[in-house]
Amino acid sequence: MAKHVVVVESPAKAKSINNYLGNDYKVVASYGHVRDLRAKEGAVDPEQDFRMTYEVIERNKKHVDAIASEMDNADSLILATDPDREGEAIAWHLAELLREREKLEGKPVYRVVFHEITKTAVQEAVADPREISENLVNAQQARRALDYLVGFNLSPLLWKKVRRGLSAGRVQSPALRLVAEREQEIEAFEPTEYWSIEADLAAQTGGDEAMPFTAQLVEAEGDKLEKLSIGDSERAEQLRARVEGAATDGALSVSSVEKKQRKRNPAPPFTTSTMQQEASRKLGFPVSKTMRVAQQLYEGIDLGEGTVGLITYMRTDSVNLSTEAVEEARQIIGERYGADFLPEQPRAFKSQSKNVQEAHEAVRPTSPSRHPETVRDKLDKDQARLYDLIWKRMVAGQMSHALVDTVTVHFQPEPGWRLKASGSTIAFSGFLKVYEEGTDDTAEQKDNRLPPLAEGDRPWLQQVRKEQHFTEPPPRYTEATLVKQLEAYGIGRPSTYASILSTLQDRGYAELQNKRFFVTDVGRVVNRFLTNHFTDYVDYDFTARLEDELDAIARGEADWKPVLHRFWDPFHKQVAEKEESVTRAEVTSEPLDEQCPKCGSQLEKKLGRNGQFIGCSAYPECDYTRPVEGEAPEPEVTDKKCPECGQPLAIKHGRYGKFLGCSAYPDCKHREPLEKPEGTGVTCPECGEGEIQAKKNRRGKVFYSCNRYPKCKYAMPNPPLAESCPKCGSGVLMDKTTKKYGREKVCPNKECNHREPFPEEEQEVAAQGGADTPAEEPEPAEAKSDS
């Protein structure tokens, strides 16, 4: 038997580390968290000095049993869970469970961390263990307690005042506020008209063809023109005509030329958030996908000579790099690109966050000498693309700066009038030879080229144009820009960004459309309720200060229970007060400055079962209602034909959203969904004729029902399996995954409680890449369900 049991979080990581340790070590996986707060009210008891009641997570109980069994004949326990606060908490929970089972008596417990899964890093970590950090554990307990207390107190209040099934959270709620406030800015925005005057010019470059370029009017009648200086077409035409008339012999004379050279420095290596942002911009990856693929690269890929971790730990807010990695990168730069691309001294980057965990490194390749091309055939497409991005970012960060020549040409057709043309060229590419950082929500700056011009040159004028523009509202958040804003406000931490974004969507508070976040009707109402009645707790600064206090606990600078008391006492009092003083109608209705056309009472925007609508405040005496957007738009006729009567189908708007309906309605009442459902190949167990199809409800959530609807109304919430229930004989089972039980085969019959786990190997696949994603804010006990 092995003398030392080493515990990591995922089975993939266990396989990698087994390659680096000898026969004296047995590496096993905990499959993520092993213990969590009891899923009932009272698991955190403020009256008992915040006593916390934990229980083993059901789906991982068998893995805890396996670890306990291995400890029977082992000499020591080495806890090698992830190198962050979540990993520290998992190590502590596991040690506590094994002590309760009396498996650790007389046996030392060691804590080791490695930020990359390579032979050197693993062996060095095992050779230099430490104790479990009480400070990190306390910080994680405080975070978990806060999330629990907010979830189990605010969520029931939302059930009573808005709608059942809703939730609120310490971090989720400020994130919702960001999305909702951006939507309010867009709706309140009034575009402003403005004009620009542009001259299209051309000049010889020494060849047969002339080079065209554009100059813009920046000064008129002695006044500098700002963006909104020209406000209407008439004024724009006056200025356009004046410029055109000032051109002599169809040309404009160059009055001066300014030439400058500026340096561009590379971006620092990736942190979690910048990796998520850049993968979203350049690769189109959702944040959750970025983290899943990064976890695979971190845990290890079989390169032919064994499993190797390709990147360092991917949950980090540090931009530090090890001396060895920097030296290796510099060697690669010198060999591949030459001495000109290698700065005299290695570059060091400084994090902007005061709470950065400096013991960590940035996300980087474990070996910069492992070029993306050399491993491409060993990776799948997504792994190869993300590894390429991480490698380029890190290597480019150690390269020479780029030199950019900028040229500004001025034209002064007459005193007090000036046009300007600007351009730039890359004099020396430096780090740009490898990588250039992307940008958010703005057009990438192009290096506009200008012909060689000198004072007195006269490029000919092709035309003078007046161009109409309108100011635009701020753009809706993408995943990348929302993560960037969360980080800027100090909301959340590297391990929580992905779960924050997914929670907003899972709760139905926001939807991603064309990669932009749109707040839903429910999200608006919940945000208004929380912002109006719990202002402090969705305040960005308050949330950031609370994160700072948690970080102080982790550094050993603060005790965790006083932090909980300072939060809980006023929060609990406010929840009790709002439960008594705020009515449901007040929360779900918003008065409008408009009278009811039917009875003259005030109109309100109300939240109903199917979203918001306009209704009379005198209801039920007056039943006037209308859609929020006014009357439904006219149907849009398509080129598709009705299968029943042959008339064109039209895109129509109903209470559940858009659908295809016959243009001959009401003579023909055929209708069908706008998006065709996907078949599953499973026969409907109720009618025995139809096929179970994957469909979407109006909120975009997938469900499964018979394709013979409305003749057959059979439906289920999870994917069907063509297997009969061994207990009740139901013709199908469901493929269902929950936090409590993991992935199971479950009977859809409500009267039958049959459930069975998937085979072990399929459970292992499900655990890959997501085992250590932290649970966010909890729901109240009665809100929890296995779905």
**Closest among 94, 88, 86, 83 to 54, alpha carbons compared:** 94
**Closest among 694, 687, 692, 689 to 673, alpha carbons compared:** 694
426 touches 406 (CB < 8 A)? no
**Single-letter amino acid, residue 347:** R
- What's the token pair of residue 177? 């506020």
**Closest among 611, 489, 565 to 171, alpha carbons compared:** 489
- What's the token pair of residue 276? 């998520």
- What's the token pair of residue 719? 């994917």
Chain center to CA of 615: 36
**Closest among 7, 465, 507, 29 to 214, alpha carbons compared:** 465
Which residues pair with residue 519 across a beta bridge? 510
> How large is the greatest C-alpha to C-alpha distance in the chain, in angstroms?
99
Query: Residue 221: which residues within 8 A CB-CB, separation 6 or more?
Result: 416, 417
Query: Residue 313: which residues within 8 A CB-CB, separation 6 or more?
Result: 82, 83, 84, 115, 116, 298, 360, 361, 363
117 touches 538 (CB < 8 A)? no
| Distance of alpha carbon 449 from alpha carbon 490, whole angstroms | 41
| Distance of alpha carbon 91 from alpha carbon 86, whole angstroms | 9
| Distance of alpha carbon 787 from alpha carbon 782, whole angstroms | 13
- What's the token pair of residue 603? 């109109």
- What's the token pair of residue 716? 């289920």
* β-sheet with 589-595: strand ranges across: 589-595, 602-608, 611-616, 625-627
- State the Rg of the chain over Cα: 32
198 touches 216 (CB < 8 A)? yes
Cα-based distances in Å from 460 to 249, 417, 752: 8, 18, 85
| Distance of alpha carbon 602 from alpha carbon 618, whole angstroms | 8
Catalytic residue positions, numbered: 313
| Distance of alpha carbon 343 from alpha carbon 263, whole angstroms | 13
87 touches 110 (CB < 8 A)? no
Q: Is 530 strand, coil or helix?
A: helix
564 touches 550 (CB < 8 A)? no
Pairing of strands 76-79, 4-8: parallel
- What's the token pair of residue 642? 């009705």
- What's the token pair of residue 776? 């966010």
Q: In this structure, what are the phi and psi dihedrals at residue 453, rounded to the nearest 5 degrees?
A: -130, 150
What would the DSSP string read from start to end of 7-72? EES-HHHHHHHHTTS-TTEEEEE--S--EEE-SSTTSEEGGGTSEE-EEE-GGGHHHHHHHHHHHT
**Closest among 369, 683, 389, 754 to 379, alpha carbons compared:** 389
Within 13 A of 590's CA, how many CA atoms are on the CB side?
A: 16
466 touches 240 (CB < 8 A)? yes
**Could you tell me the sign of the dihedral formed by the alpha carbons of 766, 311, 354, 110, in that order?**
positive
- What's the token pair of residue 175? 């994130």
Give the per-residue SS3 of 89-107. HHHHHHHHHHHHCCCCCCC
Q: Is 196 strand, coil or helix?
A: strand
**Cβ neighbours of 65 (radius 10 Å):** 12
